[in-house]
């Protein structure tokens, strides 16, 4: 995949496959992508166990939740998915619970690409089933492609480094504030603090521009 193809791609599956082959997709960014797509279906996550696992996964990425907390939340999310599926739950509910469970499993060693892929697919299916419209699924996949570009940016194709002039204390402070202050439950970053975030989004945690300023991988 060329950079031009990456920038125009509307198929997140192809983009994730490319990232797998590139060997340059960090576990952190893959997990934050899984979180971002699951936050898009937050209103449909009516089981608190499914919501808790997303929050716990995000905290784990940030280093504020332990491995044990994530394992427990993952187990509960698995129970939520099986409870619905086993009792013939509505397909929308089953899909979104499966998405939450898959996202949490993104912490499994060596499985981050697979689980990010599964979470994205389950979310897209949830949108389609909620609206009874295949167009909704197609539009969701387009949004997921935008999220992948926001998180991974052009860094997979060429080296991009932060100009030291950009790293003035006030800029780094604004970048950190933009990273911390989000619109919940969607998880979109504060667009009023940095010019990049006022470009077409959505922008979420893991955004390549903020990561560049904050020295995150």
pTM over 0.75? The answer is yes
Q: Tell me which residue of 54, 23, 18 sits closest to 39, measured CA to CA.
A: 54
Residue for token pair 């202050």: 181
Pairwise pLDDT comparison (213 vs 112), residue with the higher score: 213
Distance CA 120, CA 36 (A): 9
Pairwise pLDDT comparison (98 vs 151), residue with the higher score: 151
The predicted-structure confidence for 28-39, as pLDDT tens digits, reads as follows: 888 899 889 888
**Across 6-20, 29-43, 61-75, 78-92, least confident range:** 78-92
Q: How far is CA 31 from the centre of its chain?
A: 6
Domain ranges of the chain: 3-150, 164-214
Helix (H, G, I), strand (E, B) or coil at 213: helix
pLDDT at 9: 92
Distance CA 178, CA 122 (A): 29
The predicted-structure confidence for 136-193, as pLDDT tens digits, reads as follows: 788 888 999 999 999 998 765 666 655 555 566 777 787 888 888 888 898 988 777 6
Structure tokens at 215: 């020295």
Pairwise pLDDT comparison (98 vs 11), residue with the higher score: 11
3-state secondary structure 141-189: HHHHHHHHHHHHCCCCCCCCCCCHHHHCHHHHHHHHHHHHCEECCCCEE
The answer to whether residue 97 scores a pLDDT higher than 50 is yes
Distance CA 12, CA 143 (A): 9
Burial degree of 91 (CB within 10 A; 0-12, 13-18, 19+)? middle
Rounded average pLDDT over 69-79: 86
Q: CB–CB of 51/103 below 8 Å?
A: no
Pairwise pLDDT comparison (46 vs 185), residue with the higher score: 185
pLDDT band at 87 (very low <50, low <70, confident <90, very high): very low
pLDDT at 198: 67
Distance CA 127, CA 150 (A): 21
The predicted-structure confidence for 115-135, as pLDDT tens digits, reads as follows: 777 777 777 776 766 656 678
Pairwise pLDDT comparison (165 vs 58), residue with the higher score: 58
Mean of the per-residue pLDDT values for the chain?
A: 79
pLDDT at 180: 86
């Amino acid at each position: 995949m060329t950079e031009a193809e990456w920038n125009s791609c509307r198929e997140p599956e192809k983009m994730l496959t490319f990232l797998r082959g590139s060997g340059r997709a960090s576990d952190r960014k893959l997990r934050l992508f899984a979180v971002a797509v699951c936050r898009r279906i937050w209103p449909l996550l009516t089981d608190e166990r499914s919501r808790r696992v997303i929050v716990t996964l995000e905290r784990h990425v940030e280093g504020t939740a332990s491995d044990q907390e994530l394992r427990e939340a993952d187990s509960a999310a698995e129970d939520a998915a099986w409870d619905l599926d086993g009792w013939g739950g509505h397909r929308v509910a089953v899909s979104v619970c499966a998405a939450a469970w898959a996202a949490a499993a993104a912490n499994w060693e060596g499985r981050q690409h697979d689980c990010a892929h599964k979470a994205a697919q389950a979310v897209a299916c949830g949108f389609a089933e909620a609206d009874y419209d295949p167009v909704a699924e197609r539009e969701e996949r387009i949004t997921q492609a935008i999220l992948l570009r926001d998180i991974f940016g052009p860094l997979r194709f060429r080296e991009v480094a932060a100009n030291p002039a950009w790293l003035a204390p006030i800029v780094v402070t604004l970048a950190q504030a933009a990273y911390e202050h989000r619109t919940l439950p969607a998880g979109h970053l504060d667009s009023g603090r940095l010019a990049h975030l006022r470009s077409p989004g959505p922008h979420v945690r893991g955004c390549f521009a903020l990561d560049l300023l904050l020295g995150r991988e």
